[in-house]
Amino acid sequence: MSERLVEMLSAEDIQARVKELGAEITQAYKDKPLVLVVVLKGSFIFAADLCRHIDLPLRVDFLGVRSYGEGTETSGVVQITQDLSKPIAGEHVLIVEDIVDTGLTIAHLMDLFRTRGPKSVNVCALLHKPARARVSVKVDYLGFTIEDKFVVGYGLDFAERHRNLPYIGIVERD
Ligand code: 5GP
């Protein structure tokens, strides 16, 4: 079986949108200190680019989450594999996600974080697949709405491959 990558969003389009998102976030928080919570692993490239377009006093923390096995379907179970390194009580928190698909991961993280007493919790996602939503979640800062295709690249993997692509693509097999 041969595999082909078809580009869905170019590196240039992604960079331009990430810059706009950074400016939007900078405007919205108006000099307030912010904690970026990067959801690993898929968001690492997006977060690295995004944070360089945010002009605010910023702290970055990482959260390890597992909801997928080796396949492309969510298990519906969200497991925290690595917790934050510091408390978020009294802080403005922005969760940085690569993609909101069923919404289960973000819904779970919102519930979890709210028990920890932050001043606010918002969500920034690069991609959203509304066709697959199983719970409704509010994405406060969104890069692109995409159709229901399994995408890779720019941090996103398929069985740990393709994270290093500078663009977002679809894996096609024939
Ligand atoms: P949700 O909990 O919203 O269903 O899924 C969130 C997580 O599932 C994402 O952070 C991502 O890791 C994974 N995911 C969902 N859709 C895709 C996709 O199209 N491609 C890849 N590579 N991962 C996806």
pLDDT reading at 68 higher than 70: no
- Please give the number of the atom of ligand 1 that sits closest to the Cα of 101: 3
- The yes-or-no answer on residue 101 being catalytic is yes
Q: What pTM does this model have?
A: 0.94
Q: Strand 141-145 vs strand 120-128: parallel, antiparallel, or unpaired? A: parallel
pLDDT tens sequence across 114-141: 999 999 999 999 999 998 888 989 999 9
Q: Which burial class, exposed, middle or buried, applies to 171 when counting CB atoms under 10 A from its CB (0-12, 13-18, 19+)?
A: middle
For residue 103, which atom of ligand 1 is closest to its CA? 3
Q: Name the residue at shortest CA distance from atom 20 of ligand 1.
A: 151
Q: Ligand 1: residues whose CB is within 6 Å?
A: 42, 67-68, 74, 97-105, 150-152, 156-158
Q: How far apart are CA 68 and CA 171, in angstroms?
A: 17
Of residues 93, 133, 98, the one with CA closest to residue 113: 93
Per-residue CA distances from 146 to 67, 99, 100, 105, 160 (Å) = 20, 10, 10, 18, 21
**Contact assessment for residue 25 and residue 55, using Cβ atoms and an 8 Å cutoff:** no
- Take atom 23 of ligand 1 and give the residue whose Cα is closest: 156
pLDDT tens for each residue of 34-66: 999 999 999 999 999 999 999 999 999 999 998
Which of 61, 83, 98, 101 is catalytic? The answer is 101
Q: Which atom of ligand 1 is nearest to the CA of 74?
A: 4
